[in-house]
């Protein structure tokens, strides 16, 4: 991607972010725009009143989630003592608690993915979490020391619309995946993917390495089918 293409891409992503302001999807577009800006030595947007280099409307920075201020609770354990041993009793609810505890789905695409690999997906949840460096795995932070957030999607890949099961996979909406979904949404006449939407995401391979680390971007293509009640552009 040359300098002019980068500016055009940043303008497009920030315009999409403005159109869905205040949503996790807006954070998705802003983060991708800032990633491209960093790669090409362009300013990133961190202030709600700031405007991008390309002259687009002001955009808001992604605010990290804060945990509710709750008081710590103390777990009480009852100990039964006999003449020969001491055993801690277990709550009868513990087995069910473990059974119903949410499991983190594995990544939809990984290091062993091959060009042409694809998933048929149904979106069951959209969220965000602190982003990490691809090489060091350290949490990325902005100039103020706050974690940079990345949008995530939990998708069902077993052909059903279930919110549980072995077919759940996780997508981090950045770089190549973000580009593919943006183009798929534009083609479908909607602004962002939403819960209930479906489509196909295909891994195409690696692009041209860039940056001081010479990291090759992963390229994807996607189609998107919005749910019946999703508003079109």
Closest by CA position to 29, among listed 210, 192, 226, 217 = 192
Q: For residue 95, tell me if it sits in a domain.
A: no
Closest by CA position to 149, among listed 141, 138, 159 = 141
| Contact criterion met (CB below 8 Å) for 225 and 196 | no
Task: Indicate the number of domains in the chain.
Answer: 2
Pairing label, strands 79-81, 198-206: unpaired
Confidence band for 214, pLDDT divided at 50, 70 and 90: confident
Last residue of a domain, one of 34, 62, 90: 62
Looking at the fold, whether 105 and 209 belong to one and the same domain comes out as: yes
- What percent of the chain is predicted at pLDDT more than 70? 75
Q: For residue 91, tell me if it sits in a domain.
A: no
Alpha carbons 24 and 126: distance in angstroms, whole number: 7
Render pLDDT for 24-56 as a digit per residue (tens, 0 to 9): 777 777 888 888 877 777 787 764 544 444 444
Arithmetic mean of pLDDT over the chain: 81
Looking at the fold, whether 124 and 55 belong to one and the same domain comes out as: no
Alpha carbons 14 and 54: distance in angstroms, whole number: 10
Looking at the fold, whether 148 and 223 belong to one and the same domain comes out as: yes
Q: Which residue has the higher pLDDT, 3 or 54?
A: 3
Q: For residue 229, tell me if it sits in a domain.
A: yes
Q: For residue 80, tell me if it sits in a domain.
A: no
CA distances from 159 to 11, 124, 222 (A): 36, 12, 17
What is the per-residue pLDDT for 55? 43
What is the per-residue pLDDT for 51? 42
Closest by CA position to 197, among listed 175, 228, 170 = 228
Render pLDDT for 72-83 as a digit per residue (tens, 0 to 9): 555 665 655 555
Q: For residue 147, tell me if it sits in a domain.
A: yes
What is the per-residue pLDDT for 54? 43
- Per-residue pLDDT for 59 more than 50? no
Last residue of a domain, one of 62, 82, 113: 62
What is the per-residue pLDDT for 13? 80
Looking at the fold, whether 54 and 114 belong to one and the same domain comes out as: no
CA 17 from centre of chain: 15
Q: How far apart are the first and last CA of the chain?
A: 28
Render pLDDT for 69-127 as a digit per residue (tens, 0 to 9): 555 555 665 655 555 555 555 555 566 766 666 678 999 999 899 999 999 999 999 99
Looking at the fold, whether 116 and 215 belong to one and the same domain comes out as: yes
Looking at the fold, whether 187 and 108 belong to one and the same domain comes out as: yes
Q: For residue 94, tell me if it sits in a domain.
A: no
Which structural domain range is residue 135 located in?
A: 101-233
The DSSP annotation for 23-42 comes to: SHHHHHHHHHHHHHHHHTTP
């Amino acid at each position: 991607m040359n300098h002019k293409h980068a500016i055009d891409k940043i303008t497009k992503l920030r315009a999409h972010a403005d159109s869905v302001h205040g949503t996790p999807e807006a954070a998705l577009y802003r983060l991708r725009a800032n990633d491209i800006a960093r790669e090409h030595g362009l300013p990133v947007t961190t202030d709600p009143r700031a405007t991008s280099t390309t002259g687009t409307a002001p955009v808001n920075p992604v605010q990290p989630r804060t945990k509710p201020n709750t008081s710590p609770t103390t777990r009480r354990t009852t100990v039964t003592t006999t003449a020969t041993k001491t055993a801690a009793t277990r709550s009868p609810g513990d087995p069910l608690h473990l059974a119903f505890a949410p499991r983190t789905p594995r990544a939809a695409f990984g290091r062993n993915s091959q060009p042409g690999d694809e998933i048929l997906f149904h979106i069951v949840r959209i969220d965000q979490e602190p982003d990490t460096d691809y090489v060091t795995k350290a949490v990325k932070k902005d100039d103020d020391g706050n974690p940079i957030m990345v949008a995530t999607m939990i998708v069902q890949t077993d052909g059903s619309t279930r919110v549980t099961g072995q077919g759940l996979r996780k997508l981090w909406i950045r770089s190549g995946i973000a580009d593919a979904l943006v183009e798929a949404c534009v083609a479908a006449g909607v602004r962002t993917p939403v819960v209930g939407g479906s489509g196909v995401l295909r891994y195409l391979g690696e692009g041209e390495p860039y940056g001081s680390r010479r990291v090759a971007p992963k390229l994807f293509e996607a189609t998107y089918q919005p749910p019946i009640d999703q508003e079109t552009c």
